[in-house]
């Protein structure tokens, strides 16, 4: 990986490790659907002047169906489900479940490229990763929280599809305009719900969390994500989910006072090891999809 690729990787890992904390803080006072609207509406207002000044929005408009599909898979559904899930799950646990994204991506790649055979190493990786996920959720999750865990796996599925859509259908389009259009579509889609479920009061911590979600993970994060995919390919870009959970756990432990559990200690290393092994032969695939 080039120096530029490493810098993008580290920056994105740090930026995308923060939303779990901010979402956990925000959903205490605000409905997840309203949070979606405010987050994307603020980001849209920040994107709009840049998009207008560059004058390239017509290029993206021609590909609007795929932009819409990407927006739904990467933002529209996952962010809502994550907000709902974090009402019951800790920010640390939600971040660690997202670490399963490369495993899901490896399976999706295998299904979409039948000619790509699963080597013994990759099969071992899938088994190790699956065991890690089982340990993580089996030890730490009880009762009604299982529904929230299911939501988080749907989030991971959406996150694994996003890079593939970008690589296959959107990689030649200007990154800023694609991100801006996606965010605006989500904001428009959630506007009726967000405006009809306005909270009576927002504390300072929740207000700052909403603003932080708009500025950091939404604006800066997605721009870095597009450039990272162009630099290293869709499959390697998924590896950023190794770093995100570590940041999420550190923030959860230090700021929210969450507990470091046995499931985290046993499950997360196996998930990372499994993802590394399961994606050990992605170079050929990246050549085919780039």
Q: Which of 42, 225, 51, 249 is nearest to 136 (CA)?
A: 249
What's the confidence (pLDDT) of residue 74? 92
What three-state secondary structure class fits 89? coil
Q: With contact defined as beta carbons under 8 Å apart, do 59 and 174 qualify?
A: yes
Distant-in-sequence, close-in-space partners of 127: CB < 8 Å, separation ≥ 6: 274
* Predicted TM-score (pTM) above 0.95: no
CA gap 169, 70 in Å, rounded: 10
The reported pLDDT for the residue numbered 116 is 60
At 150 the three-state DSSP class reads helix
Where does the pLDDT of residue 80 fall: very low under 50, low under 70, confident under 90, or very high at 90 and above? Answer: very high
Question: Per residue in 221-242, pLDDT tens?
Answer: 888 888 887 777 766 676 666 7
CA 259 vs CA 89, 92, 177, 265: distances in Å: 12, 9, 40, 11
85-139 tens-digit pLDDT? 999 888 888 888 887 777 777 677 666 666 666 677 777 877 887 888 888 777 7
Give the contacts of 253 (CB within 8 A, at least 6 positions apart).
92, 259, 260
What's the start-to-end Cα distance of the chain, in Å? 16
Structural domain range at position 168 = 3-289
Q: What is the pLDDT of residue 215?
A: 94
**Listed residue (5, 173, 149) closest to 87, CA to CA:** 149
For 35-47, give one letter per residue: b (16+ CB within 10 A) or e. bbbbbbbbbbeeb
Q: Could you tell me the two tokens for 178? A: 């694609």
CA-CA distances (angstroms) from residue 66 to 70, 200, 272?
6, 37, 31
pLDDT of residue 110: 65
- Tens-digit pLDDT profile for residues 45-66: 999 988 888 888 888 888 999 9
Rounded-to-10 torsion of CA 248, 253, 256, 257 = 160
Q: What is the DSSP letter of 44?
A: H
CA of residue 264 relative to chain centroid, distance: 19
> Average pLDDT for residues 271-278, to the nearest whole number?
76
Helix (H, G, I), strand (E, B) or coil at 142: coil
Average pLDDT value for the chain: 84
* Residue 48: partners with Cβ closer than 8 Å, 6 or more residues away: 180, 184
Burial label for 220, CB within 10 Å (0-12, 13-18, 19+), is middle
The pLDDT, as a whole number, for residue 190 is: 96
Element (H, E) at 172: none
User: What pLDDT was estimated at residue 126?
Assistant: 76
**Per-residue pLDDT at 281 exceeds 60:** no
Kindly tell me if the per-residue pLDDT of 159 is higher than 80: yes
Work out the pLDDT band at 285, boundaries 50, 70, 90: very low
Q: How many structural domains compose the chain?
A: 1
């Amino acid at each position: 990986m080039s120096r530029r690729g490493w810098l993008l990787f580290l920056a994105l890992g740090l930026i995308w490790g923060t939303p779990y904390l901010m979402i956990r803080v925000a959903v205490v006072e605000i409905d997840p659907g309203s949070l979606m609207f405010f987050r994307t509406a603020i980001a849209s207002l920040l994107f709009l002047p840049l998009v207008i000044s560059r004058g390239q929005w017509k290029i993206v408009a021609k590909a609007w169906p795929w932009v819409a599909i990407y927006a739904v898979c990467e933002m529209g559904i996952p962010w809502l489900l994550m907000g709902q899930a974090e009402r019951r799950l800790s920010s640390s646990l939600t971040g660690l479940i997202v670490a399963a994204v490369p495993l899901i991506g490896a399976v999706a790649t295998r299904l979409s490229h039948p000619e790509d055979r699963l080597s013994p190493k990759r099969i071992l990786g899938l088994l190790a990763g699956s065991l890690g996920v089982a340990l993580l959720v089996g030890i730490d999750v009880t009762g009604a929280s299982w529904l929230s865990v299911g939501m988080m796996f749907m989030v991971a599925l959406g996150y694994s599809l996003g890079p593939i859509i970008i690589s296959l259908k959107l990689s030649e389009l200007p990154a800023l305009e694609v991100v801006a259009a996606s965010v605006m579509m989500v904001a428009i889609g959630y506007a009726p719900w967000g405006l009809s479920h306005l909270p009576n009061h927002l504390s300072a911590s929740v207000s700052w969390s909403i603003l932080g979600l708009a500025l950091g993970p939404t604006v800066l994060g997605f721009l870095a994500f597009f450039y990272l995919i162009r630099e290293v390919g869709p499959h390697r870009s998924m590896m950023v989910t190794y770093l995100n959970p570590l940041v999420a756990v550190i923030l959860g432990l230090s700021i929210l006072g969450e507990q470091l559990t046995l499931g985290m200690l046993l499950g997360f290393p196996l998930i990372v090891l499994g993802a590394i092994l399961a994606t050990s032969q992605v170079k050929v695939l990246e050549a085919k999809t780039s």
